[in-house]
Amino acid sequence: MAQIIMSLTRWTARVAALLVAGTYVMFVVGEFFPHPHSGPPTRFRDWAGIVLLTAVMVAMLVAWKWELAGALVSLAALAVFVPMVRVHNYVVVAVVAIPGLLFAADWLLRRLFLPAAARV
Q: What is the pLDDT of residues 22-35, one digit of tens each?
A: 999 998 888 777 66
- Structure confidence by residue, pLDDT tens digits, 59-109: 999 999 999 999 999 999 999 999 998 888 899 999 999 999 999 999 999
Q: Residue 42 has what pLDDT?
A: 75
Of the candidates 62, 101, 108, 105, the residue with the CA atom closest to the CA atom of residue 78: 101
Nearest of 5, 3, 4 to residue 102 by alpha carbon: 5
The answer to whether the Cα torsion of 46, 47, 50, 51 is positive or negative is negative
- pLDDT band at residue 2 under the 50/70/90 scheme: confident
